[in-house]
Copies of this chain bind each other. A is one copy, B any other.
Amino acid sequence: MVLAVDCSRDGWTGCYPVTPHRFKTQGLSPNMQAVRWHPPSYDIRVETIPTPEIKHPDDAIVKVKLAALCGSDLHIYRGHAGVDKIHTCGHEFIGEVVALGSSYGSNVEGRPKLYSTLKVGDKVVSPFTVNCGECHVCRLGYTARCPEGALFGSPALEGGQAQYVRVPKAGGTLFNLSNPDTWSSALSSHDKEKALTGLSDSSLLMLADILPTGVFAATQAVNHPKVLPVVTGRPWPQCLSPEATTEGNEISFTPEDRILTIAVIGLGPVGICATIGLLDVVATRQIPYRIVAIDLLEARREKMKAVFAAIDPSGKGDGEFVVLDMDAAKAQVKKWTGAVGCTAILEVVGHADALSAAYDLVRAFGVIVSVGVHGAPPMPFTGRQLYNKNVSFDFGRCPARAMFPPAFDLLVKRQDVFGGVGQPASLIDRIVNFEEATESYRAFDKGEVGKVIFSPWK
């Protein structure tokens, strides 16, 4: 996620019922280390707490190998989220299954495949929210809004910045990196397995949130009906149906009409992933493009430039790519399109000012995709403004579990970017142990470090 979550208002129902069954987690130490938040704010402590146990037959216990710090953890850290319950932080983690509830077996009919196939010892990555995988909302693929869902690292569900984490509804939630047959991919099984052995845990951890969220933003923009005329070369509304003809009063498109002009606002880790996702789509589908990636902070712009430089030429497609601050970006869009504006905007900040800038930059009949976590301020628009520009919006949280397959494929393709730690082009700044957790939160909050990963067993 892009910014932190106000857990008290975030659509999930709070605690899970504790069933009468309690399945002992065998062979694990009774206590563990965890990074805990204490109210009211800025108080992170590494504490010894009981190791989680199976509470429900659908649970799994995961031994955490790596857990990342995310920009959205800062809302609670800063005390802005209306939270007052001490809890374990973190919603990005990768690890190994060490215990499973009684729902898991060799032949569980009618439930997600993982209930039959997940085994102790499997390597897994989790999306940042739980989802059952079985309800109407999950069946449609909208896993981020499962009514039984919960956000890791919130008062409702202990997080992954710990040595162990309990994963409710694990058969719907987890992504089994030891069994590539449990997800579809454009890659063959062989290539999937080969890729898995080549990918570092720190790069696979990007699947937990930032990479699928970035891919979700890019996917929504390029597939929006209002973008289709540019992509298909056929005018609205004929662009919607392949069999429709355009032999009326319309005149032919120029090459200029086929250029996708997109601004990405906000170049934190998710914004960079969104840009990488966007570059992948336009390269794969051979769509000519002009992309401007925007951030107010020079350090983020420099990171974006380094990432773009590291991407192999075949993954960059055919277009123009610039990284600018907001004023320069507005001038650039004007230079590219005159008074028209951008085809679409990826708003990856989660702030009303970013939405206002997106409105200024987008063309009439344009699309604003907003994957940031917004706060309490009202939308900075009148209905008339939105009518006058025929604006479309796609708001909301990434259904990360559903986006794992395309995000995984992109991770494999973009090892030029996701492989390293601490290099100019890598999204991960450093890997530290829990002794540095308190200081890492402080430094991350101040913008003194980029993305930090915790290694709980060092």
Contacts and interface: CB of A to CB of B under 8 A. Distances in A.
Given A111-B251, A248-B183, A240 B225 contact: no
A137 B383 contact: no
Interface in A423-441: none
A70 to B, nearest CB: 16
B395 A387 contact: yes
B239 A141 contact: yes
A191 interface: no
A374 interface: yes
A133 B246 CA distance: 14
Contact of A237 (B364, B378, B396, B403): B403
Given A112-B251, A388-B9, A140 B236 contact: yes
Most buried by B among A134, A239, A340: A340
Contacts of A10: 388
A244 B375 contact: no
A410 to B, nearest CB: 12
Interface string A356-390: 00000001110000101111111111111011111
Contact of A249 (B114, B352, B382): B114
Contact of A383 (B182, B340, B350, B382): B350
Given A137-B364, A140-B257, A383-B350, A406 B237 contact: yes
A340 B11 CA distance: 12
Interface stretch (A26-34, A203-211, A216-224, A324-332): A216-224
A144 interface: yes
Contact of A340 (B9, B114, B137, B402): B137
Contacts of A219: 237, 240
B136 A340 contact: yes
Given A136-B257, A237-B402, A237-B406, A389 B250 contact: no
A140 B230 contact: yes
Interface string A175-209: 00000001110000000000000000000000000
A65 interface: no
Contacts of A403: 237
A355 interface: yes
A139 interface: yes
Interface in A136-187: 136-137, 139-142, 144-145, 147, 171-172, 182-184
Contacts of A376: 382, 384
Nearest to A118: B249
A10 B244 CA distance: 31
Given A140-B229, A378-B378, A389 B396 contact: yes
A249 B172 contact: yes
B384 A381 contact: no
A364 B144 CA distance: 9
Given A140-B230, A220-B225, A236 B393 contact: no
Nearest to A394: B392
A268 interface: no
Nearest to A11: B388
B382 A375 contact: yes
Contacts of A384: 6, 9, 373-376
Q: 8 closest pairs, A vs B, by CB?
A: A374-B383, A390-B396, A141-B236, A141-B235, A145-B364, A386-B395, A183-B248, A379-B379
Given A9-B388, A390-B395, 14 more contacts: A111-B251, A114-B249, A136-B256, A139-B252, A140-B235, A141-B229, A141-B237, A172-B249, A237-B403, A370-B386, A373-B384, A374-B386, A375-B384, A376-B382
27 contacts: A6-B384, A112-B251, A113-B249, A133-B249, A134-B251, A136-B340, A137-B363, A139-B253, A140-B229, A140-B230, A141-B229, A141-B250, A142-B229, A145-B389, A216-B237, A225-B225, A370-B383, A373-B387, A374-B383, A374-B386, A375-B383, A377-B383, A378-B382, A379-B383, A386-B395, A391-B395, A393-B395
Interface of A: 6, 9-11, 110-114, 133-134, 136-137, 139-142, 144-145, 147, 171-172, 182-184, 216, 219-220, 223-226, 229-230, 235-240, 244-254, 256-257, 339-340, 350, 352, 355, 363-365, 370, 372-384, 386-397, 399, 402-403, 405-406
